[in-house]
Chain A
């Protein structure tokens, strides 16, 4: 089961929905891992969408690729990582026209970064659809060294850049596409609680 119901939180925390078909000539999907299941669900309900669809997919070790190809989207691209796929995403957005529908699904880090690209290309964030699937891991920014640590799954965690012990906050930045991580033992160095898996 790839769906997870996030508990209610502060206003800063993004809220994800369920992808639904919207009118438009072109439909851009960006997904990673179990996000493929959201696309498969949407395509099953609205098969017509695929004739104008461009899917950018990052499997992250899952094997949904053949199923996605079988949907016969107008264009399909499988990328090894988000960083490797972002050039293609930018190219698509640069050449897109008003009426393009953007569907983002999968992990929060993927959706946040792709949403940021779409916003910079001129789409209001309120018009970009998102559906969370798969891992609840987060993309975290260390507020001290500003380094980004991807796929953080425990709280607290160690900053991959400066090595501080960071507390995982729900405080989110759309501009950075990351949650904020704040030093948890600043006043009492070394007093760090046992890391717990997020939402366990």
Chain B
């Protein structure tokens, strides 16, 4: 009998892992390596995939997505590289300060929202800062199939150039580094000019950089479908608001520093999610009643859907007023 695959729990299945290594790379970035607790092999993943790491921080359960940056061909280890955000919501600080080698954690099965288009004649990667991580896995994947790629990587300073040493050593002719503090900038217009037909561009970095690459490629006549980007949004703090969950018959208050999704979960209500960063669409929720103003921040719903007030993405979006959801 065939049936639609049933998801066991929101966010997909988790894998019990043990932290096999914690490797500080520079002042801000540390690599965490995981192995399966049962000593077995991890499920395969493709370059650009991420995993959602569960952090038990006292009563708080943090779930943060990180790009897998290890070689997809190595099924013994998953690795992520985490940049410490001192002003962030605490997930990266937890990883940096509390997670030690030998710790047991839970991470989600890999999900890929930023995959290579393997029909491409050539791949150009544009990375900014910690945005290098998905490209580490993509490059490893392409190297095995003799793929045609080049990387343009902007870093703040030489000392913060995460993986610059490894990349430059292994692929001296394909990797190009630009340091902000030396006034070096990616010559984007020149790079977009003259690429063979069927080249795909990929950008991962700060929002400004992503917008810049999309706009420049569009202006140069590149098809939108051949410019790929990934930006995980973080839930932004905001004013406290109240939400009634119709199906579960609960009324919850979303605190200043938590997301709507986190508040729903805190109330013990199961809500679907995957990326927790406004990109995948899994947590899309129907609005029953809205008295106030939406603060939509996701990349999933289009402008018309945002304006309609009928849907909200609780992982990153908020509300000013009182909201009633079909959850």
Q: How many residues of A contact B (CB 8 A)?
A: 17
B194, B198, B224: most-surrounded residue (chain A CB, <10 A): B198
Q: Which of A120-128, A156-164, A171-179 contacts B (4 or more CB under 8 A)?
A: A120-128
The answer to whether the Cβ of A191 comes within 8 Å of any Cβ in the partner chain is no
Contact of B198 with A23 in the complex, beta carbons under 8 Å: no
- If the complex has contacts A97-B196, A97-B197, A99-B193, are A122 and B120 also in contact, measured as CB distance less than 8 A? yes
Contact of A101 with B221 in the complex, beta carbons under 8 Å: yes
Contact of A126 with B220 in the complex, beta carbons under 8 Å: no
The answer to whether the Cβ of B195 comes within 8 Å of any Cβ in the partner chain is yes
Instruction: Kindly identify which residue among B121, B194, B196, B220 contacts A24, using a CB–CB cutoff of 8 Å.
Output: B220
Instruction: Kindly identify which residue among A23, A101, A124 contacts B219, using a CB–CB cutoff of 8 Å.
Output: A23
Within 8 A of A (CB), among B204-233: 218-226
Q: Quote the shortest CB–CB distance from B201 to chain A (angstroms).
A: 9
Residues of B contacting A24 in the complex (Cβ-Cβ under 8 angstroms):
220-221
Residues of A contacting B194 in the complex (Cβ-Cβ under 8 angstroms):
97-98
Contact of A126 with B223 in the complex, beta carbons under 8 Å: yes
- What sequence of 0s and 1s flags, for each residue 64-96 of chain A, a beta carbon within 8 Å of any chain B beta carbon? 000000000000000000000000000001001
Residues of B contacting A98 in the complex (Cβ-Cβ under 8 angstroms):
192, 194-199, 220-222, 226
Q: Quote the shortest CB–CB distance from A150 to chain B (angstroms).
A: 28
- What sequence of 0s and 1s flags, for each residue 64-75 of chain B, a beta carbon within 8 Å of any chain A beta carbon? 000000000000
Q: Quote the shortest CB–CB distance from B213 to chain A (angstroms).
A: 13
The answer to whether the Cβ of A22 comes within 8 Å of any Cβ in the partner chain is yes
* Cα distance A64–B22 in the bound complex, in angstroms: 71
Within 8 A of A (CB), among B153-168: none
The answer to whether the Cβ of B119 comes within 8 Å of any Cβ in the partner chain is yes
B residues adjacent to A (C-beta < 8 A): 119-121, 192-199, 218-226
Listed from nearest, the 6 A-B pairs whose CB atoms lie closest are A122-B198, A24-B221, A127-B223, A99-B221, A98-B195, A124-B225
**What would 13 A/B residue contacts be, using CB atoms closer than 8 Å?**
A23-B221, A25-B220, A93-B197, A97-B193, A98-B198, A98-B220, A99-B192, A121-B197, A121-B198, A122-B196, A124-B223, A127-B223, A127-B224
